[in-house]
């Protein structure tokens, strides 16, 4: 039987710690504020943005919302970002992705001042992470490090295998596990003999975007398994990239879906807003 890594509980602890810190900062006369920009009304984005605003409210961060119409031009969005970059009363700027097709996402991400890039997507933030300088770290992989640390799972010297090489999860995850002195392998869709690679892992992080892709035969006995995926199955039930029922008996610790990695992303966004570049 694996230990369940409880992301709901750990994210709640982090949010409580941040709430205390924000209250202290307020006493000293400092207010933290986050600008949240959504362009268009993609329903999933609206849910995420709503949850981000709620988390801000709970912690005591002032959220400044920009709900812009789908037809907003790239220039209009860039002008808003430019104005927010210059405002001393705004600590963080978050542009919810995806953006409508007529807006260049890279251009928008690069327009955000890297000192306010709480998502950690700006090339300056990514570069800082690679060379071990202070900078914002992408929230999902940062949350996974917190899950491991707060569950007393040692990373140093461990074989860490990440399946998936996205800019938002796989690549920054590799950098973070390396920073913690893990021995890191990044596997992906072109990896030959994936099972042989994943079976080496003491810590296996799965971010492939395919429901129940990782079954027991990909996992070493006693491995720690972190599931970044979230999907709805044919019965409208949530599941991850890991086939939980087959993998759980073999793992020493595992994150459930829902209630594992998911809740950590917003907690770490709040962490980035409060703590700045670290
Ligand atoms: N869309 C899906 N996930 C994210 C995220 O973490 N940040 C932003 N800005 N947009 C997203």
- Beta-strand pair 159-163/203-206: parallel
- Beta-strand pair 33-39/92-95: parallel
Q: Provide, rounded to the nearest whole percent, the portion of the chain with pLDDT above 70.
A: 100
What six digits make up the tokens of 252? 């020493």
> So what's the pLDDT on residue 203?
99
What whole-number distance in Å separates Cα of residue 189 and Cα of residue 210? 11
Average pLDDT per consecutive 10 residues, the chain (278 residues; last block may be shorter): 97 98 97 98 96 98 98 98 98 98 98 98 98 97 98 98 98 98 98 98 98 98 98 93 98 98 98 94
* Three-state SS at 41: coil
> So what's the pLDDT on residue 278?
84
What whole-number distance in Å separates Cα of residue 229 and Cα of residue 262? 9
Distance from residue 1's CA to the centre of ligand 1 (Å):
34
Domain extent listing, the chain: 30-113, 139-261
> So what's the pLDDT on residue 1?
86
Neighbours of 44 (CB within 10 A): 9
Task: Provide the whole-model pTM.
Answer: 0.97
What whole-number distance in Å separates Cα of residue 66 and Cα of residue 62? 13
What whole-number distance in Å separates Cα of residue 166 and Cα of residue 271? 22
Distance from residue 27's CA to the centre of ligand 1 (Å):
31
Whether the CB of 94 sits within 6 Å of ligand 1:
yes
* Three-state SS at 78: helix
> So what's the pLDDT on residue 133?
96
Residue nearest to atom 1 of ligand 1 (CA): 97
Q: Provide, rounded to the nearest whole percent, the portion of the chain with pLDDT above 90.
A: 98
Whether the CB of 25 sits within 6 Å of ligand 1:
no
Q: Identify the CATH number of the domain defined by range 30-113.
A: 3.40.50.10860
Among 96, 105, 172, 271, residue to substitute to test ligand 1 (most atoms within 8 Å of Cβ): 96
Residues annotated catalytic, as ranges = 52, 96, 119
Name the residue among 241, 249, 245, 243 with its Cα closest to residue 223: 249
- Contact yes or no for 80/39 (Cβ under 8 A): no
The number of the ligand 1 atom at minimal distance from the alpha carbon of 98 is 1
Pick the CATH number of 139-261 from 3.90.1150.10, 3.40.190.10, 3.40.50.300, 3.40.50.720: 3.40.50.720
* Three-state SS at 114: helix
Among 42, 44, 119, residue to substitute to test ligand 1 (most atoms within 8 Å of Cβ): 119
């Amino acid at each position: 039987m694996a230990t369940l890594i409880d992301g709901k509980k750990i994210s709640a602890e982090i949010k409580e710690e941040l709430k205390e810190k924000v209250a202290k900062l307020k006493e000293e006369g400092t207010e933290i504020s986050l600008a949240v920009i959504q362009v268009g009304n993609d329903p999933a984005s609206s849910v995420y943005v709503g949850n981000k605003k709620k988390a801000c409210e709970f912690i005591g961060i002032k959220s400044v919302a920009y709900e812009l119409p789908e037809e907003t031009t790239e220039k209009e969005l860039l002008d808003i970002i430019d104005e927010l970059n210059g405002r001393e009363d705004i600590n963080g700027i978050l542009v919810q992705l995806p953006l409508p097709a007529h807006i260049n996402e890279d251009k928008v991400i690069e327009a955000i001042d890297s000192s306010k890039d709480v998502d950690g997507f700006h090339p300056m933030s990514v570069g800082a992470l690679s060379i071990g300088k202070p900078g914002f770290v992408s929230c999902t992989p940062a949350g996974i490090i917190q899950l491991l640390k707060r569950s007393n799972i040692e990373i140093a010297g461990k074989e860490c295998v990440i399946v998936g090489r996205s800019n938002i999860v796989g690549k920054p995850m590799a950098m973070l596990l390396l920073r913690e002195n893990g021995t890191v392998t990044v596997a992906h869709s072109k990896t030959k003999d994936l099972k042989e690679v994943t079976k080496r892992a003491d810590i296996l992080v799965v971010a492939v975007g395919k429901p129940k892709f990782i079954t027991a035969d990909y996992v070493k006995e006693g491995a720690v398994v972190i599931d970044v995926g979230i999907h709805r199955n044919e019965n409208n039930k949530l599941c991850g990239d890991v086939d939980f029922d087959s993998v759980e008996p073999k793992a020493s610790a595992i994150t459930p879906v829902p209630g594992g990695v998911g809740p950590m992303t917003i907690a770490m966004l709040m962490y980035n807003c409060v703590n700045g570049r670290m």
